[in-house]
Amino acid sequence: MLKAQLERDPDWTGRAGAAHALGKEGSYESIEALGTALLKDTFWGAAVEIAAALGENGSLQARDALVAALSIENPKARRAVVKALGGFRDEAAAKALAPLAKHDASYFVEAEANLALGATGHPSAFAVLSASAKKESHGDVIREFAYAGLARLRDDRAVAILKAGAAPGGLPKGRMSAMRSLASLAKGRDPLREEARSELEEYLRDPDFFAKMGALAALDLLGESASAQAAENLRNREVDGRLALNSRDVARRLRESTAKSDEVTSLRSDFEKLREENRSLRDRIEKLEKFAPPPHKSLGSPRALPKPKSKVPKAKGKKAGKKSKK
């Protein structure tokens, strides 16, 4: 029934609902039907949902169906296919995405391919992404997504590229993306997080409005409580209300993260104390067991003696009573 709805429902939302239901069901026949529908559906909105259903399924059969659909003519549908392929962290997905990350007729498909290629985590992606980071495009979209792809790739070689991308001289979208990507790559990692924090705090004094907004967003993502004062200083010296309000909110969130981290530290300390007490108790018990007498051999429980059967004498008075009545 779902396959028939996927093929013949005149309402594209019905076809989309059937696609997600088939993706969750996940049988071989269902994934095969989704792959066929993805190539045949003439409306890009339905194709976007079918591609998403295949990506959510996550099976190798679904991956192969997405790879086969990379030649879809509509750029919006093709972008959805590329995005879904980014959820597969394997060599086959990376090889399929690399040509589109290098060139596509649509800037947005090419940009999405760079982001998805980084999400695969394959080592071969670094060369493609670092080349894409140098490309000029409409709205700087390819460079923006290439920086984000480098952050998803989690390759430390990207730090130098992201620093260069965040530096003054570039377009606002590219610079902001480089700052966010640098924060994402360095978050929770020593010594990268301190290096990224000092770099991003410098951009809070940049004369460009978008650079300061990007630095605030990146510091918020990085989550280092030491940056709260830098954000507060920006609030005090800025006359632009947008920057003042944003810096106030970022400073508050960073301070709250400090309180949460203190709570976590306290809980960890309490846990360590409990573990030490448990260890000392075990040591004491082991020492006491050494002086304890050896256990006696179990003699076993005596078998229960069978209960004697009690013979209850039958009453003879009934017959006699009947005779006497007669």
DSSP secondary structure code for residue 122 in this structure = -
pLDDT digits (tens, 9 = 90+) for 113-151: 999 999 999 999 999 999 999 999 999 999 999 999 999
Q: Which amino acid makes up residue 182?
A: L
Q: How much is the average pLDDT of 147-169?
A: 96
Whether omega before 191 lies within 30 degrees of 0, making that bond cis, reads yes
The domains located in the chain, with CATH, are 1-88 (1.25.10.10)
Question: Quick check: 54 pLDDT over 70?
Answer: yes
Would you report the helix, strand and coil content of the chain in percent, each value rounded to 5? 75, 0, 25
**Token pair in block for residue 116:** 């998805």
Whole-number mean pLDDT of the chain?
88
pTM: 0.77
Cα dihedral: 262, 267, 269, 275 (round 10): -170
Q: Which amino acid makes up residue 129?
A: L
Whether omega before 75 lies within 30 degrees of 0, making that bond cis, reads no
Position with higher pLDDT, 192 vs 323:
192
Q: How much is the average pLDDT of 42-49?
A: 96
Give the length of the chain.
326
